[in-house]
């Protein structure tokens, strides 16, 4: 095979710049690129900032399972769906800390605690804050996902030493009502703002494959 007949590889990626001003059209263009080119660019950017062979191990524990009042179409923990999932109360502190310590001994450096709530009561936040403090004492990063928060609740979690708050947007604002009807997209944005204002790192994602369009994903 002649050298000039070999298709060139992807162009060398430009220096990675953290951006918060992406336009929908730009993201749509990214989604239309060949997957292997995107993979190459992502790996190149990753290597500029991190050890390419270092992976952080995180462990997730459901500290309160089932009977959530929300109607998220994808979630088996909703009380509105007949999934056979048994309702469980908020776990005791000692049990959570035993699970965290076991995760630490197995190599995890971050421990995330999730509760099936629309939003926690203040007394629940106090119990979760104690869990965060206990996990931090083990030398681990902490993450919780508890639903929607008030300003005071976010401040209390920050005081406890919480590192990350997970709060997913799930899908686009335009498609949101097709997936969830018991809250609005703005409700989620409001909690993300409160978490940021409290000084807690945000962990936020979405779900693909629920009938949304490519533009919804963008």
125 and 30 fall within a common domain? no
State the pLDDT confidence band at 126, using cuts at 50, 70 and 90: very high
129 and 88 fall within a common domain? yes
Pick from 13, 34, 55: which residue ends a domain?
Answer: 55
**What's the confidence (pLDDT) of residue 20?**
83
Cβ pair 133, 178 in contact under 8 A: no
Residue 178 counted as domain residue = yes
166 and 180 fall within a common domain? yes
Residue 2 counted as domain residue = no
Q: Characterise 132 by phi-psi region: left (phi > 0), alpha (psi -120 to 50), beta (else).
A: alpha
User: Count of CB atoms within 10 A of residue 195's CB?
Assistant: 25
Q: Is the pLDDT of residue 145 over 50?
A: yes
What is the C-alpha R_g of the chain? Answer: 21
140 and 118 fall within a common domain? yes
Residue 59, SS3?
Answer: strand
Residue 16 counted as domain residue = no
Better-scored residue on pLDDT, 199 or 2: 199
61 and 43 fall within a common domain? no
Q: Is the pLDDT of residue 196 over 90?
A: yes
**What's the confidence (pLDDT) of residue 6?**
41
Q: Is the pLDDT of residue 207 over 50?
A: yes
49 and 67 fall within a common domain? no
**What's the confidence (pLDDT) of residue 14?**
52
CATH of the domain at 169: 3.20.20.70
Determine phi and psi for 111, rounding to 5 degrees.
Answer: -125, 120
Cβ pair 125, 153 in contact under 8 A: yes
Q: Is the pLDDT of residue 11 over 50?
A: no
Q: Is the pLDDT of residue 109 over 80?
A: yes
Q: Is the pLDDT of residue 87 over 90?
A: no
69 and 48 fall within a common domain? no
Better-scored residue on pLDDT, 78 or 186: 186
**What's the confidence (pLDDT) of residue 9?**
47
Q: Which percentage of the chain shows pLDDT scores above 70?
A: 93
Residue-range definition of the domain harbouring residue 47: 22-55
**What's the confidence (pLDDT) of residue 15?**
52
38 and 81 fall within a common domain? no
51 and 61 fall within a common domain? no
Reported as a single tens digit per residue, the pLDDT across 168-178 is 998 888 988 89
Q: Which percentage of the chain shows pLDDT scores above 90?
A: 56
Residue 14 counted as domain residue = no
């Amino acid at each position: 095979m002649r050298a000039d007949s070999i298709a060139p590889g992807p162009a060398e990626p430009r220096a990675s710049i953290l951006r918060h001003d992406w336009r929908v059209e730009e993201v749509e263009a990214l989604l239309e690129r060949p997957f292997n080119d995107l993979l190459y660019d992502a790996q190149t950017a990753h290597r500029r900032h991190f050890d390419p062979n270092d992976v952080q191990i995180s462990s997730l524990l459901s500290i309160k399972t089932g009977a959530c009042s929300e109607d998220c179409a994808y979630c088996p923990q909703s009380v509105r769906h007949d999934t056979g999932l048994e309702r469980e109360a908020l776990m005791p502190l000692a049990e959570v800390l035993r699970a965290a310590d076991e995760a630490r001994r197995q190599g995890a450096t971050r421990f995330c605690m999730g509760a099936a709530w629309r939003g926690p009561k203040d007394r629940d936040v106090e119990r979760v804050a104690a869990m965060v403090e206990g996990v931090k004492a083990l030398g681990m990063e902490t993450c919780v996902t508890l639903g929607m928060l008030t300003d005071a609740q976010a401040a209390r979690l920050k005081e406890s030493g919480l590192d990350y708050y997970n709060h997913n947007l799930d899908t686009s604002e335009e498609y949101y009502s097709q997936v969830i009807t018991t809250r609005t997209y703005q409700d989620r944005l409001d909690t993300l703002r409160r978490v940021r204002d409290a000084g807690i790192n945000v962990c936020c994602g979405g779900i693909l494959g629920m009938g949304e369009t490519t533009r919804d994903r963008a």
